[in-house]
Each structure stands twice: as structure tokens, then as C-alpha cells.
Amino acid sequence: MSVMAVRSVRTVTANMLLSVFFLSGALADCDKNLALLITAPKEMEALTGSCLQIPCNFRVIKSEEEFSSARTTFGVWIKNEPQFSNPDNVIFNSSRNDNIYPMNLIGDLSQKNCTTLFSSLITSYTDKYYFRIENWPFVATASCDPLQITVLDSPPSPRIEISGDLKEKESVSISCSAFTPCPHSPPKLTWNLQQDPHIMTVEKKDRTFTTKIQKNITLSDEHDGSIITCSARYPVNEGKDVKTAEERTTLNVSYAPKNTSASISPPGLVSAGSRVNLTCSSRANPPVSRFTWLKISKDGPVTVSEGDFYSFNVTDGGVYHCVATNDLGNQTSSEIHLTIKDPPRDTSVVISPTDPVSVGSLVNLTCSCRGNPPIDTFVCFMINDGRLAMIKVDEQIHGFKVSSSDRGRLYYCGCRNELDIQLSTGRQLVFEGDQRVGAQVIVKILGIVMLVSTLVIFECWFRSRRSIKPQKRAVEADYVNSVVELRPS
Ligand SMILES: *[C@@H]1O[C@H](CO)[C@@H](O)[C@H](O)[C@H]1NC(C)=O
Ligand SMILES: *[C@@H]1O[C@H](CO)[C@@H](O)[C@H](O)[C@H]1NC(C)=O
Ligand SMILES: *[C@@H]1O[C@H](CO)[C@@H](O)[C@H](O)[C@H]1NC(C)=O
Ligand SMILES: *[C@@H]1O[C@H](CO)[C@@H](O)[C@H](O)[C@H]1NC(C)=O
Ligand SMILES: *[C@@H]1O[C@H](CO)[C@@H](O)[C@H](O)[C@H]1NC(C)=O
Ligand SMILES: *[C@@H]1O[C@H](CO)[C@@H](O)[C@H](O)[C@H]1NC(C)=O
């Protein structure tokens, strides 16, 4: 019951379609003796100087005279109109050898195969074509199935297709296919991708042909913006000439941020309170949607700012980095070490073990100070009876055995880094049994009196030191400058 219903609905639909079809007028000729249908493409393109293979099968649908493959069958192609009022329109009749157009039935008509090879095409062959069967007394023209053939002077561009997601790390298949009207002389395909030359000419569903090359690649950010060029070279005129068509496409591959880097301006050391600019840069597709600045503190990284530009007044040093983020992921830049300029300070002579000392005991004089960049030179000297004497250079600690002549000596030390030098105040050893207060007063008075001249002497000493250590000249020159700068303050 329901099957019947479905079938009748189908018939009605078919009838409706047919009436719409025939009433349209354009194909008014095709309803009169609808005895022959062909299965072939409705439209085909071909290339001048080449051939066109027309896939074709026919069906006899209703007729008083039956088609019989036992009788001789001729195939006929008529151009322009289904009737052949003009005999010149019968451009091919398989019973004849002197046909107007260079066509050849390569299908077996007894198998209802009307596949035809149309050769040496020229643009004036562009037309509508009708197929006819002559199997006397059965004769019929497939007037409802015209085939529009367009003969092109130059081949259409091949088609580049990419399957899959255009994202980094994705594996996609890229193919280039070219129209192949003449499978007997297919185009040669070349492209700018690494070629494993596996060119294939394959039959499509509609039994026309296509020529194809294909490659699987795993995408990376480097593919973004790269151009794929594919060209098809068609042999024409029996291979004497060639016609070329080319296609190019630009890959748009999305990827997470790459080459994320942070920079600081001004570079190098900065003074506390001054302004610094941090800039983050990265490349990404789609572009970076968020830049985050992090400062590494004791508790780990802490977000301090958003945006690619971060400007602030320096209060302390620290380690910064930025993170660039887009839809696909994020990337962290390398670290920026923000270091505050810190000339030597708190320079002092430390005696250990702490005094009072006694003759014969061992003591260490340590030059203690702070600074950034780190202290690179220490110096230890003393003033003995108003004369300066060097004790130690380049070492922070001077250990010695106390003798009675150490009584009354004033010990000094100095620290130097790239930025400046600083000298300590004088320090005197306090001997066991000495009056502490008295000693300190002496130290103070002597310290003040001696310091000025000591600075001058110290500078002179550094000048002379340059000739002793010529290999360190650049550093020394710097040092002398620092000393000169130090004088006005
Ligand atoms: C095809 O050729 C046969 C034999 O020569 C002839 O009888 C027939 O009329 C021709 N068909 C057409 C459509 O001209
Ligand atoms: C029709 O004939 C052509 C040419 O000989 C052949 O390649 C094709 O496979 C045939 N088609 C069918 C459906 O038999
Ligand atoms: C960007 O990063 C890649 C590695 O991810 C590296 O090979 C390349 O040299 C970098 N380019 C620049 C300009 O730094
Ligand atoms: C920091 O950026 C501001 C604003 O762009 C600019 O005026 C200033 O000169 C920059 N400072 C440095 C040290 O680059
Ligand atoms: C930041 O430092 C600049 C000079 O480097 C100064 O002019 C400005 O007032 C400071 N801003 C703040 C908020 O301290
Ligand atoms: C970066 O991505 C990772 C996971 O891929 C996530 O855990 C992390 O929070 C992201 N960082 C930022 C700053 O967005």
C-alpha cells in the first residue's frame, strides 16, 4: 500500500518535472518521439589542438521498433539542432569514412556505449551536439540530451585544493588537479612543493578525466604566507606545441605565537627612580590578542601589566618576561634582568676576630662594601707615621699576625665597580688594655685629616698602576675617569 503510494507520488513528480521541462520552450523539440536518452555530460570543455573524449551511453526508452544489437548500428552526431534539415549539420556518421569533423566512436554501440573521441579540435567546433542511433528500422535522436562543447584556446587553470585545517602541526593533503579532456595526452603537472613525481590521470564519477598530483605535509608557521604554484603543460597539435596554465595560492596557516621577545629601553643598568620602557614583540596568526608582563618574585611570576608596551619608574631591580597569547596558544619570552645602578657604598674595614687584639694574634682585615655591578677591585692600605703603604690589591681579605708596630696604624680600604670607587674611613686596631675611647678619638681626628690627602694619593697610585698592568688599560682608563669624577663631590 505505502509502496504504491510512494511510487505514484514519484510518477506525479516526474510528470510535473517533464511538463515544466517541455513547456519551457527551449527544448520543445524533445518530447515528440522520446525514444533515446544518452548518459553523457551536459557540458564539456576542450582545448584547441587536443582531443576530447566524450563518455557516452545510451538507452532506448519506448519505441514500436525495438533496438537490436544483432542488426548493424550506426552512431551519428549532429551539431546545432536535433533535426538535420541542413545535411551539413550531420558532422559525423559512423557508416561513412569521409566525415566533416574528426570524430571516432570508440565505444561499442552493441553494448550501448557511444563513447566518442573528438580530435584536432578548433574553436569553431564550439557548438551543441546531439547523438543519433540508426539501427534500422529503429532510428532515434537523443533530442533531450544535447551536449554543449566549448573549445578553448587556452586551458583553464589547474585547481589547488587543501584538505584539512590550516593550522600548525596539522597534517594536510595538498593536491593540484588539471582538467584533462584528452586522457590520451594528459597535461604534465609540476609544482613548487617537494615533488615525489606521482602524477596520476584518474577517471571521475562522470567518467571524464582529471590529472592530479598530491602531497601530504605537516604544517608549521613557516608555511604561513608561502605560495604554492602549480602549472599544467598540455601537449597540443600532436605534441608539436604546448599550452600552459598556472595556478597559485597563498597558504594562510594559523599558529601560536613565535619569536616572542622582550626588550628594554634604555638598555643596561638603570638608576632607581628613572623611567624604563619594556616592549614585547611576537609574530602569530591570528595576531597576538594579549601580551602579559610578569615579574618573577619570590612567590613566582606575578602579572604586572598587560599590553605589548610597559613603561614604569624603577624602584627596584627584577626579572621580567612577557607572554604573547592568541587563540592557538601562548609563548613566553626570554627574561629581562632589570638591574639598578649602585655605586660602591658602605665601604668599611672589618676586623675579625673583633678587637681588642694582642701582639702575636692573627687577625683578618676584610674590606666590606656593597654595589652593583659587583665590586671588581678591592684595595687595602695603611697610613703609618703619615706615610701611605699598600698592603693588598685585588683581594678582599688581608690576614696577618699582629705586631707591636701595628699600634697607631690606620687601615683603609677601597671598593671599585664599573660606576665608581669608594674609600672607607680609617680604622685602627685596638690593643688589649688600651683605652677604647681614646683610641676612637684618635681614629676620628686622624681619619678626617688624612682622608683628603689619601684620596689624592690613591688616585695617583691608580694612575701609576696603569703602567704596571698594561693589559688592563681600558678598565684602568675607566677607573681613572671615575676617580676624577669623584673629586668634586
Ligand atoms: C548515415 O549514413 C547512412 C548510410 O550511409 C545513411 O543511410 C543515413 O541516412 C545517414 N544518417 C544521417 C543522419 O545522415
Ligand atoms: C565505453 O567505451 C569506452 C571506450 O572503449 C570504455 O573506456 C568505457 O569503459 C566503456 N564504458 C562502459 C560503461 O562500458
Ligand atoms: C624565530 O624562531 C625560530 C625558531 O622558532 C628561529 O629558527 C628563527 O631564527 C627565529 N627568527 C628570528 C628572526 O629570530
Ligand atoms: C619610553 O616610551 C615613551 C613613550 O613612547 C618615550 O617618550 C620615551 O622616550 C621612552 N623612553 C625610553 C628610555 O626609551
Ligand atoms: C617617573 O620618572 C620620571 C623621570 O624619569 C619623572 O619625571 C616622573 O615624575 C616619575 N613618575 C612617577 C609617577 O614617579
Ligand atoms: C599559556 O598556556 C598554558 C597552557 O597551554 C596555560 O597553562 C598558561 O596559563 C598560559 N599562560 C598565559 C599567560 O596565558
Secondary structure (H, E, C), the chain: CHHHHHHHHHHHHHHHHHHHHHHCCCCHHHHCCCCEEEECCCEEEEECCCCEEECCEEEECCCCCCCCCCCCCEEEEEECCCCCCCHHHEEEECCCCCCCCCEEECCCHHHCECCEEECCCCHHHCEEEEEEEEECCEEEECCCCCEEEEEECCCCCCEEEEECCCECCCEEEEEEEEEECCCCCCCEEEECCCCCCCCEEEECCCCCEEEEEEEEEECCHHHCCCEEEEEEEEEECCCCEEEEEEEEEECCCEEEEEEEEEEEECCCCECCCCEEEEEEEEEEECCCCEEEEEEEECCEEEEEEECCEEEEECCCCEEEEEEEEECCEEEECCCEEECECEEEEEEEEEEECCCCECCCCEEEEEEEEEEECCCCEEEEEEEECCEEEEEEECCCEEEEECCHHHCCCEEEEEEECCCCEEECCCEECCECCCCHHHHHHHHHHHHHHHHHHHHHHHHHHHHHHHHHCHHHHHHHHHHHHHHHHHCCC
Q: Ligand 2 centre from 52 Cα, in Å?
A: 14
Expressed in angstroms and rounded, the spacing between residue 277 Cα and the centre of ligand 4 is: 6
Q: Are residues 40 and 144 in the same domain?
A: yes
Q: Whose CA is nearest to atom 2 of ligand 3?
A: 259
Do 311 and 351 share a domain, yes or no? Answer: no
Contact indicator for 46, 236 with CB cutoff of 8 Å: no
58 and 96 in a common domain? yes
271 lines ligand 4 (CB under 6 A): no
Is residue 222 domain-resident? yes
Which residue would you say has higher pLDDT here, 161 or 483?
161
Assigned domain for 92 exists:
yes
Q: What is the dihedral of CA 468, 473, 476, 482, to 10 degrees?
A: 150
Which residue is closest in CA terms to ligand 4's atom 3?
277
Give yes or no: residues 181 and 284 share one domain.
no
Give the C-alpha separation, 487 to 148, whole Å. Answer: 100
Q: Is the per-residue pLDDT at 10 higher than 50?
A: no
- With respect to residue 471, please indicate whether it lies within any of the assigned structural domains: yes
The CA 323 to ligand 4 mean position distance, Å, reads 21
Closest ligand relative to 203 C-alpha? 2
User: Which pLDDT does position 431 carry in this prediction?
Assistant: 86
Same domain, 346 and 475: yes
pLDDT for 457 equals: 66
Torsion, Cα 26 32 37 38, to 10 degrees, reads -50
Protein residue whose Cα sits closest to atom 11 of ligand 2 = 113
Residue 2 lies in a domain: no
Mean pLDDT in residue range 256-271: 93
* 77 & 201 share domain: no
% of residues, the chain, pLDDT over 70:
81
Q: Is the N-terminal amide bond of 137 cis, ω within 30° of 0?
A: yes
Q: Calculate the average pLDDT of the chain.
A: 83
pLDDT of 450 higher than 90:
no
The predicted-structure confidence for 314-323, as pLDDT tens digits, reads as follows 988 889 999 9
Measured CA to CA, the distance from residue 79 to residue 455 in angstroms comes to 114
Tell me if 18 is assigned to some domain: no
Q: Confirm whether 48 is domain-assigned.
A: yes
Looking at residue 62, its pLDDT comes to 74
- Based on the fold, state whether residues 473 and 357 are members of the same structural domain: yes
Query: 106 CB less than 6 Å from ligand 2?
Result: yes
Q: pLDDT at position 406, please?
A: 87
Domain final residue pick, 152, 181, 197? 152
pLDDT of the residue at 459: 55
Nearest Cα residue to atom 2 of ligand 6: 330
Higher-pLDDT residue of 189, 442:
189
**475, 346: one domain:** yes
Which CATH number does the domain housing residue 105 bear? 2.60.40.10
- For residues 63 and 49, state if they share a domain: yes
Residue 92 Cα, ligand 1 centroid: separation in angstroms? 9
Ligand number nearest to the C-alpha of 312: 5
Tell me, yes or no, whether 289 lies in a domain: yes
Provide the residue type at 117 as one letter. L
Q: How far is CA 365 from CA 28, 355, 392, 443, 458, in A?
A: 119, 11, 10, 16, 19
Tell which atom from ligand 5 comes closest to the C-alpha of 275.
5
User: What is residue 170's predicted lDDT score, i.e. its pLDDT?
Assistant: 94
The lowest-confidence range among 62-76, 101-115, 328-342, 470-484 is 470-484
Å from CA of 266 to ligand 5 middle: 15
C-alpha cell at 147: 551536449
- Would you state the pLDDT for residue 373? 84
Calculate the alpha carbon distances from 463 to 48, 414, 457, 483 in Å. 93, 15, 10, 10
303 and 350 housed in the same domain = no
| Domain count for the chain | 4
Do 54 and 142 lie in one domain? The reply is: yes
With a pLDDT cut of 90, the percent of the chain lying above it is 53
For residues 61 and 146, membership in a common domain is answered with yes
- Give dist(CA 464, CA 85) in Å, integer: 121
- Backbone φ and ψ of 348, nearest 5°: -155, 160
Question: Residue 143: which of 2, 26, 20, 230 has the closest Cα?
Answer: 26
Query: Is 485 a member of any domain?
Result: no
Contacts with 347 (C-beta within 8 Å, 6 or more apart), sequence order: 367, 368, 369, 413, 414, 415, 422, 423, 424
- Please state, in angstroms and as integers, the Cα–Cα distance from residue 304 to each residue in 68, 152, 301, following that order: 90, 66, 9
Ligand located closest to 85 CA: 1
* Domain carrying residue 365: 342-479
Ligand 1 mutation target, pool 93, 98, 131, most atoms within 8 A of CB: 93
Q: What is the pLDDT of residues 132-175, one digit of tens each?
A: 999 988 899 999 899 999 999 999 999 999 998 999 999 999 99
Domain boundary at 199, 231, 250, which?
A: 250
> Which residues, at least 6 apart from 422, have a Cβ–Cβ distance to it below 8 Å?
343, 344, 345, 347, 369, 371, 414, 415
Could you tell me which residue, 34 or 446, shows the higher pLDDT? 34
Give yes or no for residue 83 CB within 6 A of ligand 1. no
Q: Which tens digit of pLDDT belongs to each residue from 331-373?
A: 999 999 998 888 899 999 999 888 788 899 999 999 999 988 8
Last residue of a domain, one of 136, 152, 168: 152
Q: How many angstroms is it from 291 CA to the middle of ligand 4?
A: 19
